[in-house]
Structure 1
Amino acid sequence: MRIAVTGSVATDHLMTFSGRFEDSIVPEQLDKIAVSFLVDDLEVRRGGTAANIAFSLAKLGHRPLLVASVGKDFDVEYRGWLDAAGVDTSAVRVSESRHTARFVCTTDSALAQISSFYPGAMSEAGAIDLAGLGEFDLVLISPDDPAAMISHTASCRDRGVPFAADPSQQLAFADGAMIRDLVDGATYLFSNDYEAALIEKKTGWTADEVRSRIGTQVTTRGKDGVSIYLPDGDVVEVGAIAGVTAVDPTGVGDSFRAGFLAGIAAGLGVERCAQVGCTIASLVVETTGTQEYQLDRASFIARLGDSYGEDAAAEVEAALDLPN
């Protein structure tokens, strides 16, 4: 199955704050907010939604095509890292003047986050012609330059290419018309529960109206697992992996999406797909950084089996081409 992943590639600057943001925020004074936090450490890591998803897909045995716009600094080290992991970076566009996007995030002791994102070269992603990159079985359209997201969605819709909509971080920026355009006709719609509510609020659609315009809706709920709303009206609930020690939530949703799509590509049912997604997400949340975790067949299958049972583990192991 040929999968293209469109979206951001970024350098992540990840900091931790030992206190809680809420202790320094006065709700009645939010219009005058001016606070700073003394952080404990700084980790500079590879990131970006599309890069994170493509990396995780490669760890699960696929060779996804990464479709993104980056700066010349990408060739210094990041491209080689992704190539070595098994990601196809041949479609990455290199800007002549802008730096690769940068994500700056501080996480507090309750795992709440305050983040900023500088788009840089991502602003030129609208110049990428998705149709000129060949044929695909599925395109995942993740947060990106808005013009690129609209263009890639239109390209898939016009050519009848199945696509997964993952507007997530861009929902705060986008208006209702843009969100309706990005969602309508998607084979899969990914979001967390807050983002699902935001989609409904901004589009003016009810939950049922959203689902009437897509194939399958996949809504993650953090430690409470994931809900999958099928076209026939059935709902599949999958719990999160138990006993996880959360270290850093950055990139967890990205890895879940990769796991779910790896299961789809392997012909697994949606319950197994979500179990694969939850398992790889548990590896990421236990690690600082979005692409720093280790994945091997034995430990991955053992972890999945401990939470979902021996039958699930056997079926997933037979379907996925996991590394030893």
Structure 2
Amino acid sequence: MRIAVSGSIATDHLMHFPGRFSEQLVADRLRVLSLSFLVDRIDIRRGGAGANIAFGLGVLGLTPLLVGAAGADFDDYRAWLEQHGVDTGSVVVVPDEYTARFVCTTDADQNQIGSFHAGAMRAAADVSIEAVAERAGGLDLVVLSPDTPDAMLRHTEECRAAGLPFAADPSQQIAAMSRADVQFLIGGARYLFTNEYEARLLQERTGWSARRILDQVGTWVTTLGADGVLLERDGREPRVVPAVPDVVPVDVTGAGDALRAGMLAGIARGLTLEDACRLGCVLASLALETVGTQEYGPRATSLADRVRAVYGDGPATAGALAVAGAA
């Protein structure tokens, strides 16, 4: 299965605040908010939603095509991605810009405050999905993860025009786009990915009920954190796939991207959607236990052992061995 992943490519500056954000807020002074948090740890890591998902697919044995824009500082990052199975031939490098930056602080309750600077990512709309498909000899799925709004809209339009199946993952860009644009991004998607908060925000932003959103897409996957994954399909009863229990998160950044990568890898290897979600939950658990969004590297046995321990023997375990064994 040939998968292209369009989305952000970034460098993450991840900081940890040992206290709680909520204890620093004064309810009647939020209008003049001015806060500084003394952090006890900083990690500088590779990130960006598109690159994270592509990395996860790469370590699970696929060769995804990453579609996006990076800056003059991309050489080491490119080498890292290619080392882990990602085709970076469709990444545009902007020589006078830096690769996008994500600065995020996580508190003791795993709440996060983040800022994102687009940098070279502003050129992502210049990359043509049609050209990527031609270079690849065809595409079976295009994952449209968070990017600049212009890039997301252009790539969605290209997928529709070319009849390419696509997965809509608008994520944090939902709040930044108009009602018509958000409706355009998700209409006709084979898969729609959101978390629980984004699912509510998507209904507010589109003006559509959950039922109508489901009518627009083939499958709606909503991550529920420690409660697992809600899998909804038109005409089918909703299913909740439980998460891996007793995970002690080190850093939540990138866990959703890992889940998407695991699920899509399972689909590519012929697993049912439920078993693909189980594989995604396991990959997400590995990401949660690791600082950095691309630092996990599951081996076939460890991945399958965790699937077996949580979900028992069955197609998901066999699929985990097949997927990770291909890496």
TM-score, structure 2 length as denominator? Answer: 0.96
Residue in 2 that maps onto 1:92: 91
Question: Cα gap change, 1:91/1:208 in structure 2, threshold over 3 Å: closer, same or farther?
Answer: same
Question: What is residue 109 of structure 2 aligned with on the other side?
Answer: 110
Cα deviation, 1:159-193, whole Å, max 9, x if unaligned, reads 11100000001112112111101011100000001
Partner of 2:222: 219
Distance 1:13 1:223 in 2: 25
Name the CA distance, whole Å, in 2 between partners of 1:309 and 1:28.
Answer: 51
Quote the residue 2:151 is aligned against: 148
The answer to whether structure 1 residue 206 and structure 2 residue 177 are counterparts is: no
Q: Deviations over 1:136-179 (max 9, x none)?
A: 10000000011000000000011111000000011121121111
Aligned to 2:21: 21
What's 1:8 paired with?
8
1:264 and 2:267 are equivalent in the alignment: yes
Aligned counterparts of 1:128 and 1:115: Cα–Cα separation in 2:
27
Give 1:235 deviation, angstroms: 1.1
Q: Which residue of 2 aligns with 1:36?
A: 36
CA shift for structure 1 position 69? 0.3
Per-residue CA deviations over 1:181-206 (Å, capped at 9, x if unaligned) read 10111000000010000000011000
Per the alignment, residue 303 of structure 2 pairs with: 300
One-letter amino acid matched to 2:268 = A
Unpaired runs of 5+ in structure 2? none
Structure 1 residues 261 and 313: alpha-carbon distance in aligned structure 2, compared to 1, 3 A threshold: closer
Q: How many residues align?
A: 323
Deviates more, 1:293-302 or 1:213-222: 293-302
The Cα shift of 1:323 comes to 5.3
Q: Which moved more, 1:39-48 or 1:305-314?
A: 305-314
Answer whether contact 1:295 1:323 (CA < 8 A) is retained.
no
Among 231, 249, 254, the residue aligned to 1:228: 231
Aligned to 1:177: 180
Quote the residue 2:79 is aligned against.
80
CA distance in structure 1 between the partners assigned to 2:317 and 2:123 by the alignment: 44
Q: Aligned letter for 2:14? A: L
Deviation at 1:98, TM superposition (A): 1.3
Is structure 2 residue 322 aligned with structure 1 residue 322?
no
The change in CA–CA distance for 1:156 and 1:313 in structure 2 (over 3 A counts) is: closer
Shift of 1:314: 3.8
Tell me the CA shift for residue 97 of structure 1.
Answer: 1.7
Q: Is residue 299–residue 324 contact of structure 2 (8 Å, CA) maintained in 1?
A: no
- Measured against aligned partners, the alpha-carbon deviations of 1:262-314 in whole angstroms (never above 9, x if no partner) come to 11111111110100000000000001000111310111101111110112454
1:71–1:96 Cα contact (<8 Å) kept: yes
CA shift for structure 1 position 233: 3.2
Give the corresponding residue for 2:100.
Answer: 101
Q: CA deviation at 1:28?
A: 3.3
Query: 2:256 matched to 1:253?
Result: yes
Over aligned residue pairs, what C-alpha RMSD do you find? 1.2
Q: CA deviation at 1:321?
A: 4.6
What is the CA–CA distance in structure 2 between the aligned matches of 1:258 and 1:27, rounded to whole Å?
40
Report the identity percentage: 49
The TM-score, its normalising length taken from structure 1, stands at: 0.97
